[in-house]
Structure 1
């Protein structure tokens, strides 16, 4: 599929890992379909594709310099467990403010759940706010020795 991105043409193709796509243009970028169109964390690039039937699909570029999971996939990892079986739940520790979590939410899809654990008060606040948008993210935050499940 051809799309316009900053005035240039880009081809978006499915990656060998389900739910991951490659946007091929001046450089290759990993991306995922955005379950919450219009929402991004840390101003990631968005790519819009207009299908033949006129509907638009929004993709979020997944930066391997901001995500260890993206770096592993970009580097050629063969086995990514969260992408293997429908119905799996994901427990993600050390979520910080949620950049990768938003992508993992896209990867597991709307019917699966991502449980996110964060111990930092400041990052936890950001994470709780981020988790209000995707319906499949449940943050678990530690505040003063107690855990809060949002």
Structure 2
């Protein structure tokens, strides 16, 4: 232990070493700092999707890897991961049918997790949210936005045979 006044002099902020370690779920990471943060490897380095923080780590060979902080208060899936869920079934290379994609906050992290070899079919029926979703998908080649009513699965049923995982974040109107 000891004291070791951990304040850091002027200009410490940029140089603060953040260590990023793999989480037990493949494709999810933990940035170890004063406050540990859940994160995913940014598919589109240099871009935030919804104003989230980014963490850059330099490899031995000088290349950089960028991670995006995944806020559990903005994503049920992130909350589940932090809560210790056994398996999220979403991993690098998986194809996900994501129902209730909204403006794509969580979808962008799912896109990070499945990576360039995976795919996310992102279904959202509100056209207002759909606009953000479509814009996000322009930069992320592995996201296919589908602006349809998630309660009418016939419209996207043809996709179901093509996916490994179905993730539903749809509020049922009859939930009161």
Indicate the TM-score class for this superposition, using the shorter chain for normalisation. 0.7 to 0.9
Distance 1:127 1:96 in 2: 7
CA contact (8 A) 1:5 1:48 kept: no
Structure 1's consecutive aligned runs of 4 or more residues displaced over 4 angstroms after TM superposition are 4-7
Structure 2, unpaired ranges of 5+ = 1-11, 156-176
1:70 aligns with 2:74: no
Change (3 A) 1:36 1:5: farther
Tell me how large the CA RMSD over aligned residues is.
2.1
Distance 1:28 1:18 in 2: 18
1:130 aligns with 2:136: yes
| SS of residue in 2 equivalent to 1:9 | coil
Distance 2:40 2:13 in 1: 15
Structure with the higher strand share, 1 or 2: 1
Distance 1:11 1:46 in 2: 13
| SS of residue in 1 equivalent to 2:148 | strand
1:140 aligns with 2:156: no
Return the index of the structure with the highest Cα Rg.
2
Match of 2:53 in 1: 45
Cα deviations by residue, 1:15-47 (Å, 9 ceiling, x for unpaired): 111111101111110011101111212210000
Alignment size in residue pairs: 141
Structure with the higher helix share, 1 or 2: 2
1:113 aligns with 2:119: yes
Match of 1:79 in 2: 87
